[in-house]
Every structure is written in C-alpha cells, then in structure tokens.
Structure 1
Amino acid sequence: MTTAADIMHPDAQWVPATESLDRVAQRMRDLGVGAMPVSDPGDNERMCGIITDRDIVVGCIAAGHDPSHVTAGDMCQGTPRWIRSDADVDDVLREMEGNQIRRLPVINQDKRLVGVISEADLAHHLSDAQLAQFVGRVYA
C-alpha cells in the first residue's frame, strides 16, 4: 500500500500566522516553493491554513495592500485541509479532488507537519489514468 508519507515532499516548513506577506514571499523564494502551511499564533503549531504565492499576488498586492502590513493569518480563509502520513494514496486523492486543492499538508500521529503533497508529487507516483482523473476533478 502506497501512503501519503511515500509520496509527500518531506521537510515542509510552517510560516507563523503573524508573519508579514513580504517575509512569507521571501521564504517561499528561498525554499523554492509556491505554498506554505500557516501555523496558529499559539505555541502548539496547529495549522490554521495554507498560503500560496498566488494568494499574496492576487489577494494582497493586486488588491492594493502593502505586503509588509498584511500577515499570513490575514490571508487564511476556510477550513484547512490535511492528511495523516499513514493515509492510503486513494485517501489523498479523495481529499484533494473532493476539495479541489493542489497542495495537501501531511501530519504525523502527533499532529506535527511532516510534509506536503503537491501535484508534482502525484505526477511521480500515479499512473497516467489516475493522474488524468485527478486533473479532471481538481480543475473541473
């Protein structure tokens, strides 16, 4: 059985909800990623959302806001989605397809972030038929 841990990109990093978007963008650049999970302001590192480079550009800059005065937490909307590291790849696909999301944080049994699954990760591990079905459902 292929699990989320088998296909995820390991060593994902949090960005605190209090971090300004200009700093978030710099971290994304330095890490070579287009999205980062956002942790709540408390000490327990619980996910309160995920922020993408597109969120920063469209939701902040294009809306005329100053990214040095808007925080990652300000941009988080909706219920954060995640999956456990021991979940089957079919569960990963259901979660991503059902919520039409392209990146899915992965947590361990202690609810700590251990990785992120992206479309690129799926492309490396799915059959062509599975990948076509995923794309059809997420981009529908």
Structure 2
Amino acid sequence: MKVSQCMSPDVCVAMPDMSLRDAATLMADIDAGALPVRQGDRLVGMITDRDIAIRGIAAGLGPDARVNQAMSTEVKYCYEDEDAEHVARNMGDIQVRRLPVLNRDKRLVGIVALADLACSATDRENLGCALGDISRDSSLHSQTLPRTH
C-alpha cells in the first residue's frame, strides 16, 4: 500500500511569521502536537509543542515570538508514492510518530501518522517494531537531568 492511500490530505499548517501563541492555539484546536510550517507552497519546517516549550518559552521567547524562531528546519518527510510499510520502519528509525507527505515536486500533500499506517499495515510485526523503535531510549529525548559535578 502507498502512503497516499492512508495519509490525511487535510493538513493544518503554520506559517513562519505566525506567533507561537497562534501556533499553540491551532494545535489545541486540532488536538495535535506538531504542525508543518509552510512558506508559499514549500515545506520549510516543523513546529511542535515541545519546540514551543523548549526552544521558545525555556529560551526566553514570549508567546508573541514567531514560529520561525522556534521551529525545526531539518524536516523529515516521506513521499506520497512510497510504500507505507517502508515509511513505518523509517519512522521507527528516526523516532517520529508523524511525517509530512510530499509529492515528487516537493509540495506538501498530506501528513501521515503511525496510527494511519497501523490501520493499513499488512505486516503487523514491522509496525510493532517501528513503534518499539520510536519509543526506545535516545539521547535526543532523554528524561534524565544532566549530572553536575
């Protein structure tokens, strides 16, 4: 099955000049923790609730700061014509639960969540491995405070 068959084509997006408050409000309205950031017809970043908290508020930015001050610019994505099970494995490898979906012209056409792939997966074992990989310990997402000597 292709990603285009299980993705959500209706994507709410943030704009780089949107305030962090407006991005957070949009996330609350749609009950999502991440938004693709679009400028014109191009994907230029992702903003997550964690980005707002860590790169925004914890770094001293206020609610009126702009999305482009806290967003991730290194965006992981997949293509609409990719195999869904391959994408699920990749999501496990890179430890993300959702990916923007682009067409081959690199235009945003949807978003796919691991749950979307679960509903369409014929290979449940690979999907389970992907979920396990997403949840594995990583220095990128540690809950341990750094030791001070």
What TM-score does the superposition give when structure 1 sets the normalisation length?
0.82
Kept after mapping to 1: 8 A contact 2:48/2:71:
no
Aligned partner of 2:62 in structure 1 is 66
Q: What letter corresponds to residue 80 of structure 1 in structure 2?
A: V
- Report 1 or 2 for greater relative contact order, CA contacts < 8 Å, sequence distance ≥ 6: 1
One-letter identity of the residue aligned with 2:20: L
Q: RMSD over aligned Cα, in angstroms?
A: 2.0
**What amino acid does structure 1 have at the position aligned with 2:125?**
A
In structure 1, distance between residues paired with 2:105 and 2:60 = 40
Larger of the two Rg values belongs to structure: 2
| Paired residues, number | 135
Q: Quote the Cα distance in structure 1 between the aligned partners of 2:29 and 2:21.
A: 12
Identity %: 36
Q: In structure 2, list runs of 5 or more residues that go unmatched.
A: 137-149
Structure 2-normalised TM-score?
A: 0.78
Alignment of 1:96 with 2:95, yes or no, is no
Which residue pairs with 1:32 in the alignment?
31
User: Whole-Å Cα distance in 2 between the matches of residues 28 and 76 of structure 1?
Assistant: 14
Aligned equivalents of 1:12, 1:76: Cα separation in 2: 17
AA paired with 1:134? A
Structure 1 position 91, deviation (Å): 2.8
Partner of 1:131 in structure 2?
Answer: 127
Question: What letter matches 2:55 in structure 1?
Answer: G
